């Protein structure tokens, strides 16, 4: 099978700091890729490059046989992106915002109306369709953001911490949706710090640390390779090692330290 996304020697620097140090990765149609790593590892930079938001990188990124630098607009038309922060036009209603998204992708008004109603009803926002979003909670805004990323039925869905602010029932819906979209042939690139969910929904897990891939395989393969029973422990050992040992003890010790006498 031909990869739908092929990344070769991907490098990106901000001034003297090299954030990505030669990423090589193939992603195939219908795969759910769990892309994980500690803060500052290069996850968000990778996501922004794949979404066409950063163009001054080194190496090559090919999506559906198209070079990302040469065919950015065509590639953007087949990608749905859900960023971590729900930065929306708060003065708009969900209906107004999603109609705007539909227009960007040249969707017909009938299809747009149908998807808005069905998406927002499924997320429990039917009564809020015509309410300004500056009154919404973080979780409500996140649901609208997820709907906006799926509006045009994209072939590739890039999710960057999509569960941020969602309640438990909504998390269950998104987990089920990810698995069903993959079965339909959608390719999902999923970034998250929630190890238990990454472990459950991902066909392949890619762990990045300090700008380089340090583990790549299915959860079952990584268990055999690394000798750990949980993704959380693999993550800790590969990205932090001994620095986590005793950290909670140190914090507890600091909290129980008695302050010295006052010299006032």
Whether 93 and 191 map to the same domain: the answer is no
State whether 93 and 208 are in the same domain. Answer: no
Q: Among 159-168, 189-198, 235-244, whose mean pLDDT is lowest? A: 235-244
Does one domain contain both 150 and 186?
no
72 and 161 in a common domain: yes
pLDDT score, position 242: 47
Claim to verify: residue 105 and residue 66 sit in the same structural domain: no
Helix or strand holding residue 152 (H, E): none
- Shared domain for 160 and 130, answered yes or no, is no
- Average pLDDT (181-203) is 89
Angle made by CA atoms 250, 164, 166, in degrees to the nearest 5: 120
Q: Residue 3: inside a domain, yes or no?
A: yes
> Could you give the angle at the alpha carbon of 218 between the alpha carbons of 215 and 224, nearest 5°?
75
CA distances 60 to 13, 25, 53, 155, Å, are 15, 11, 15, 20
Domain carrying residue 100: 86-154
- Please name the helix (run of DSSP H) or strand (run of DSSP E) that holds residue 85, with its range, or none: none
The mean per-residue pLDDT over the stretch 61-65 comes to 96
Task: Specify if 260 maps to a domain.
Answer: no
> 163: pLDDT confidence band, cut at 50, 70 and 90?
confident
Q: How much is the pLDDT for 14?
A: 93
Whether residue 9 is contained in a domain is answered as yes
Whether 175 is covered by a domain: the verdict is no
Report strand pairing: 204-209 vs 32-36. parallel
Mean pLDDT of 183-210: 90
Q: State the alpha helices, DSSP H only, in 184-246.
A: 195-201, 219-226, 231-239
Are 90 and 213 in the same domain?
Answer: no
Residue 157 has pLDDT above 90, yes or no: yes
The model carries a pTM of 0.87
Nearest to 81 by CA among 148, 180, 13, 140: 148
Q: Taking Cα atoms as reference points, which of 75, 86, 55, 73 lies closest to residue 159?
A: 86
**pLDDT beyond 90 at 167:** no
Task: Give kind and range of the element (H or E) at residue 51.
Answer: none
Domain annotation covers residue 249 = no
Question: Is 264 a domain residue?
Answer: no
Residue 212 falls inside a structural domain: yes
Residues 191 and 114 in one domain: no
In this structure, are 150 and 161 located in the same domain? no
Give Dmax (Cα) for the chain: 75
- What is the CATH number for 186? 3.40.50.300
**pLDDT tens per residue, range 200-209:** 889 999 999 9
How much is the pLDDT for 259? Answer: 59
Please tell me whether residues 14 and 73 are part of one structural domain.
yes
At residue 147, does pLDDT exceed 50?
A: yes
Residue 19: pLDDT band (50, 70, 90) is very high
Same domain, yes or no: 47 and 162: yes
Q: Is residue 198 part of a domain?
A: yes
**Predicted local confidence at residue 195, as pLDDT:** 83
What pLDDT score does 84 carry?
Answer: 80
pLDDT per residue as tens digits for the range 211-263: 999 989 998 888 888 877 778 778 777 776 545 556 666 677 777 776 556 55
Write the DSSP string, 3-46. -SEEEEEEEEEETTEEEEEEEEEEE-TT-EEEEE--TTSSHHHH
The reported pLDDT for the residue numbered 247 is 60
The count of domains in the chain is 2
pLDDT value for 130: 96
* Cα four-point dihedral sign 180, 186, 189, 191: negative
**pLDDT mean across residues, the chain:** 89
115-138 pLDDT, tens digit per residue, is 999 999 999 999 999 999 999 999
pLDDT digits (tens, 9 = 90+) for 71-126: 999 999 999 999 887 678 889 999 999 999 999 999 999 999 999 999 999 999 99
Based on the fold, state whether residues 150 and 163 are members of the same structural domain. Answer: no
Give pLDDT tens digits for 25-49: 999 999 999 999 888 889 999 999 9
């Amino acid at each position: 099978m031909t990869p739908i996304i092929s990344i070769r020697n991907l490098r990106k620097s901000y001034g003297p700091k090299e954030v990505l140090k030669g990423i090589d990765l193939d992603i195939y149609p219908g795969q759910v890729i769990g892309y994980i790593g500690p803060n500052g590892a290069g996850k968000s930079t990778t996501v922004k490059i794949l979404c066409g938001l950063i163009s001054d990188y080194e190496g090559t990124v090919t999506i559906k046989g198209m070079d990302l630098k040469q065919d950015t607009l065509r590639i953007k038309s087949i990608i749905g992106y859900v960023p971590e922060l729900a930065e929306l036009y708060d003065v708009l209603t969900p209906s107004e915002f999603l109609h705007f998204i539909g227009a960007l992708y040249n969707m017909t008004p009938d299809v747009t109306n149908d998807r808005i109603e069905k998406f927002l009803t499924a997320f429990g926002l039917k009564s809020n369709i015509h309410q300004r979003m500056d009154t919404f909670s973080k979780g409500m805004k996140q649901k609208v953001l997820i709907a906006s990323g799926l509006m045009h039925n994209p072939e590739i869905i890039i999710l960057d911490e999509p569960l941020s602010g969602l309640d438990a029932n909504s998390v269950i819906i998104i987990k089920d949706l990810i698995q069903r979209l993959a079965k339909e042939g959608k390719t999902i690139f999923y970034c998250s710090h929630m190890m238990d969910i990454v472990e459950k929904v991902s066909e392949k897990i890619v762990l990045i640390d300090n700008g380089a891939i340090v583990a790549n395989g299915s959860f079952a393969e990584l268990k055999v390779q690394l000798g750990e029973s949980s993704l959380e422990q693999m993550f800790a050992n590969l990205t932090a090692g001994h620095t986590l040992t005793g950290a909670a003890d140190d914090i507890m010790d600091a909290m129980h330290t008695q302050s010295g006498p006052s010299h006032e």
